[in-house]
Amino acid sequence: MSRNRGRDTGPEVLLRKALWKLGLRYRLGFKLPGRPDLVFPGARLVVFVDGCFWHSCPEHRVMPKNNAGFWARKLVRTTERDAAIEQELSQAGWRVIRLWEHEIHSNAVGAAERVAAAVRVSG
Ligand SMILES: [Zn+2]
């Protein structure tokens, strides 16, 4: 449930390892709106790994019972910010892939193959 987009959280590391095995090379820490977790500059593609709690995954979202109003507003703001960032990136010519942390935990290779397919589309 860590809030920060640390560079070495579990699902990100799993995804990076799977991408590496597929021979994909990405950039980290690229300065773009929303600080995407992975960037493929040549393919104009960015990847976000979204935590199920913070980004309100439809399968795993849970509303904390304490301070429910606070949390509801906070999580809605996060979702709205995600949408705004995505729009900003796409207006700047970037394609955006969002992966849930649960997708990566259950099938990191499948998630990596989705990214690989998108990278290939752009040649
Ligand atoms: Zn989830």
Q: Alpha-carbon distance 47 to 37, whole Å?
A: 6
Question: Measured between alpha carbons, how far is 35 from 48 in angstroms, rounded to an integer?
Answer: 8
Tell me what pLDDT residue 9 has. 60
Are 29 and 117 in contact by the 8 Å Cβ rule? The answer is no
pLDDT (mean) for 8-35: 91
DSSP E strands: which ranges in 41-103?
45-50, 95-100
Rounded to the nearest angstrom, the distance between the alpha carbon of 71 and the centre of ligand 1 is 17
User: Ligand 1 centre and the CA of 10: distance in Å?
Assistant: 14
Q: What is the pLDDT of residue 35?
A: 94
Strands 45-50 and 38-40: antiparallel
Beta-carbon count within 10 A of 33 CB:
16
What residue type is assigned to position 103 of the chain? E
Return the pLDDT at 63. 87
pLDDT at 62 over 80: yes
Q: What pLDDT score does 2 carry?
A: 47
**Helix (H/G/I), strand (E/B), else coil: 102:** helix
Find out whether 46 and 95 touch, Cβ atoms under 8 Å.
yes
Residue 104 alpha carbon to ligand 1 centre in Å:
10
Find the 59 Cα to ligand 1 centroid distance in Å: 5
pLDDT at 113 over 70: yes
Find the mean pLDDT for residues 79-85: 97
CA of 24 to the centre of ligand 1 (A): 25
Contacts (Cβ under 8 Å, ≥6 apart) of 98: 47, 48, 50, 55, 82, 86
CA 108/CA 91 separation, integer angstroms = 29
Quote the pLDDT of residue 7. 52
CA 58 / ligand 1 centre spacing (Å)? 7
User: How high is the pLDDT of residue 1?
Assistant: 47
Q: What is the per-residue burial (b if ≥16 Cβ within 10 Å, else e) of 40-57?
A: beebebbbbbbbbbbbbb
Q: What pLDDT is attached to residue 29?
A: 81
